[in-house]
C-alpha cells in the first residue's frame, strides 16, 4: 500500500512538472502587443478620449489580449511553429452628458508567428477576421 501511494505521488509530481513546463496561463509578448497596436493605429488612427462628435463625445481605445492559454512555453511553440494568438479590439464609446449611449467594438485576430522561418516576422492582424458589434445602452 505504501509503495502504491509513493508511486502515485511521484507520478502526480511528474505530471505537474510537465504541465508547468508546457505552460499554462496567458503570457503576452510586449513586443507583439506593440506590433498589433501599431497595426490598429495604422487602420484607425491614434487612440483618443473625449473627442467631440455630432452626438456628443467619443472615446476610442485599443485592447490586445492573448488568447493562447495552454501550451505557452516559448521554446516549445517556436520549435513546433505554433503561433501565439491574440484578440485585438477597437472600442468606440459614445457619451452624451457623461452617460454611455453606444459602444461599438471591432474585433480582429492577431498572430505572433513562431518558428525559425518567422524569426524576423512581426506580429500581425488577420484583416479578414474582422467582426463588428454595436451595443446601445
Residue 5's H or E segment, with its range, is helix 2-22
**What's the pLDDT score for residue 117?**
87
Residue 108: name the closest of 48, 37, 46 by CA.
37
**Percentage of the residues of the chain whose pLDDT score is greater than 90:** 59
**Between 129 and 72, where is the model more confident?**
129
What pTM does this model have? 0.83
Residue 54 inside a domain? The answer is: yes
Q: Is residue 113 in some structural domain? A: yes
Q: Which domain holds residue 79?
A: 25-136
- Does residue 36 form part of some domain? yes
> For residue 71, is it within any domain?
yes
Confidence of residue 2 (pLDDT cuts 50, 70, 90): confident
Is 14 inside a domain boundary? no
pLDDT, the chain, mean: 91
Residue 31 scores a pLDDT above 80: yes
For the four alpha carbons of 35, 39, 40 and 44, in that order, the dihedral sign comes to positive
| pLDDT tens-digit series, residues 6-30 | 999 999 999 988 888 888 888 888 9
- In the chain, the number of structural domains is 1
Amino acid at each position: 500500500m505504501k509503495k502504491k501511494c509513493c508511486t502515485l505521488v511521484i507520478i502526480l509530481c511528474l505530471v505537474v512538472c510537465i504541465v508547468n513546463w508546457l505552460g499554462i496561463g496567458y503570457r503576452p509578448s510586449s513586443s507583439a502587443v506593440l506590433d498589433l497596436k501599431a497595426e490598429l493605429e495604422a487602420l484607425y488612427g491614434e487612440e483618443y478620449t473625449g473627442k467631440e462628435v455630432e452626438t456628443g463625445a467619443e472615446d476610442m481605445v485599443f485592447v490586445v489580449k492573448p488568447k493562447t492559454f495552454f501550451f505557452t512555453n516559448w521554446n516549445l511553440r517556436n520549435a513546433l511553429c505554433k503561433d501565439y494568438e491574440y484578440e485585438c479590439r477597437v472600442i468606440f464609446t459614445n457619451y452624451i452628458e457623461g452617460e454611455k449611449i453606444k459602444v461599438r467594438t471591432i474585433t480582429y485576430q492577431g498572430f505572433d508567428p513562431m518558428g525559425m522561418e518567422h524569426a524576423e516576422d512581426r506580429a500581425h492582424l488577420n484583416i479578414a477576421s474582422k467582426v463588428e458589434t454595436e451595443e446601445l445602452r
